[in-house]
Amino acid sequence: MEYPIFDLPVIGGSLLIAAVAIVHVFIAQFSVGASFMLAMAERRANREGDADTLAFLRKYSLTVLLIPYVVGTITGVGIWFVTSVVNPRALSTMIHLFVWAWAAEWVMFLVDVTAIYLYFYTWGRIRPAAHNAIAWIFFGSSLLTLVIINGILSFMLTPGQWQPLAEGGFWLAFFNPSFWPTTLLRLFVCFALAGVGAIALMAISQDIVPVVRQKITRLAYRMILPSLLCLPLFVWTFLVLPRRAQVFIEGSGVPMGMFFAMGLTCFLILSLAAIVAMIRREYTPSTLATILLVLFAFISYASFEFVREGVRKPYVIEGYMYSTGVTTAATDGLDARANLAVLQKRGVLSAAPWALPVGRRLEDLDTKARGQAVFRATCGACHQPEVGYNALRPLVRHWTAPIIREYLDTMHEQRPMMPPFPGSNQEKDWLTAYIDSLTERGTP
Ligand code: HEC
């Protein structure tokens, strides 16, 4: 709405965001946990005068911290680019609200990057205690970046008492109802990922003495174990979710329930494996076990992120803005351009000039082409037209024009993941003509 439309054929914009974000957050959270693990292990090795472990940690600080940093930075910039082309209006709202949070995050990031470089280049050159202090600064600043970003992410799902333009809006938005449980959840996930990462790194490194291998593996299991506390945190998060999102997670025929169950299963297996290994004092996991650990960690983490993104539908900011960039009817006094109530009166194309083919005017287009423009403005955020992500053609294969037209009146009631149609009745007719051309009868 109000911005040029980014069409990504077949895959669709929201899957692209999900893919970039999942990789980025995976690396970022791993790095937060790894910095903690490093700081802890170094302190202990310093105390014990354990030169072998220190030698391993030096290597670990390069492979586990510097390399993710490079990938993390690239995907981090990628997220900004992708969200700004896929949902510019939502990003604009977020920047209006959170600009200082992002500024603070940037400062933390600066401390973070400086600390990791200092840390790596001062190994053996400064006093051990001072060197270890840099690791703690690194952990502290990366933890703060996580806390800040999570304030923003959790706001999108549970804005709570926040009202646009109201006093104290920033703090209400930031410390929203799911802020604490999700921040703690992420922290435990960070620790678990760092543990799994350390085990994986040792599996591919040849020259580690057995004693060090054993010590680090034991520490890694200890990093994974607290993630069992995620269970009560899941419950806490679930309880503060909007009822609509709770229903999605409970199942109700939507894949969200399935993904959640899959994430939970993998996560439980991971924790149980760590417990059993600790009880049996098995500190040399086989290659197969290591691969499974990494796989389970990734699947459970990615499923939860996917569910978090998914249960927000039809909103991008719960209760305030739909995934299409249209604000809800409740805010029609604030938004005179792309608000649901306004658009239903004036027509969605009045706020979506880029939905038309380049250089063409509405008057020049036939009914079907007008309908296609309406589709791009109102459905394209979640549906590909013919093939690919949530493609419409297979969904409406057997539909007829009257059924389609009627469906548009009540689509948000039929499928609560969809927003109400944000346009005029005439636009519904145009869209019906376009969708009809996608059905079995319409397809030549
Ligand atoms: C916010 C995302 C979103 C938007 C915007 C959206 N849809 Fe959907 N739509 C979905 C999802 C998700 C499903 C699958 C729902 C399910 O499985 O319960 C769906 C399903 C459908 C179905 C299949 C319904 C059925 O009962 O089998 C049709 C038809 C459909 N959408 C049409 C549209 C049209 C037309 C538009 C634009 C006017 C639109 N959608 C806009 C998310 C969206």
Which amino acid is it at 440? E
pLDDT tens digits along 98-115: 999 999 999 999 999 899
pLDDT value at position 251? 76
- Gap from CA of 309 to ligand 1 centroid (Å): 16
Residue 281: count of CB within 10 angstroms of its CB = 8
Residues counted in the chain: 444
In 3D space, the residue among 218, 229, 224 whose CA is nearest the CA of residue 270 turns out to be 224
pLDDT value at position 69? 79
d(CA 63, CA 295): 20
- Gap from CA of 270 to ligand 1 centroid (Å): 35
pLDDT value at position 444? 56
pLDDT tens digits along 134-153: 999 999 999 999 999 999 99
Q: What Å distances lie between residue 200 and 85, 227, 357, 386, CA to CA?
A: 36, 18, 50, 42
d(CA 377, CA 116): 45
Residue nearest atom 42 of ligand 1, based on CA coordinates = 418
pLDDT value at position 443? 61
Residue nearest atom 39 of ligand 1, based on CA coordinates = 379
Q: Enumerate residue ranges in the chain where pLDDT < 50.
A: none
pLDDT value at position 424? 97
Q: What Å distances lie between residue 371 and 111, 251, 274, 345, 375, CA to CA?
A: 51, 33, 56, 17, 6
Report yes or no: 9 and 17 within 8 Å, Cβ to Cβ: no
Which amino acid is it at 320? Y
pLDDT value at position 91? 95
- Gap from CA of 168 to ligand 1 centroid (Å): 36
The atom of ligand 1 lying closest to the CA of 407 is 29
Candidates 379, 430, 436: which one to mutate for ligand 1, based on the most atoms within 8 Å of Cβ?
379
In 3D space, the residue among 337, 364, 361 whose CA is nearest the CA of residue 351 turns out to be 337
Residue 15: count of CB within 10 angstroms of its CB = 16
Report yes or no: 77 and 131 within 8 Å, Cβ to Cβ: no
In 3D space, the residue among 76, 286, 104, 264 whose CA is nearest the CA of residue 185 turns out to be 264
**Residue for token digits 């990504």?**
8
Residue nearest atom 32 of ligand 1, based on CA coordinates = 392
The binding-site residues of ligand 1, defined as CB within 6 angstroms of any ligand atom, are 254, 313-314, 323-324, 378-379, 381-383, 390, 392, 395-396, 411, 414-415, 417-419, 421, 435
- Gap from CA of 360 to ligand 1 centroid (Å): 28
Chain CA centroid to CA 415, Å: 23
pLDDT value at position 261? 87
In 3D space, the residue among 388, 383, 386 whose CA is nearest the CA of residue 415 turns out to be 383
Residue nearest atom 1 of ligand 1, based on CA coordinates = 314
Chain CA centroid to CA 66, Å: 23
- Gap from CA of 251 to ligand 1 centroid (Å): 17
| Dihedral sign for Cα atoms in the order 204, 210, 212, 215 | positive
In 3D space, the residue among 440, 409, 444, 376 whose CA is nearest the CA of residue 4 turns out to be 376
- Gap from CA of 380 to ligand 1 centroid (Å): 10
Burial class (CB in 10 A: 0-12, 13-18, 19+), 47: exposed
The atom of ligand 1 lying closest to the CA of 421 is 38
- Gap from CA of 415 to ligand 1 centroid (Å): 7
Q: What Å distances lie between residue 372 and 357, 385, 415, CA to CA?
A: 9, 9, 22
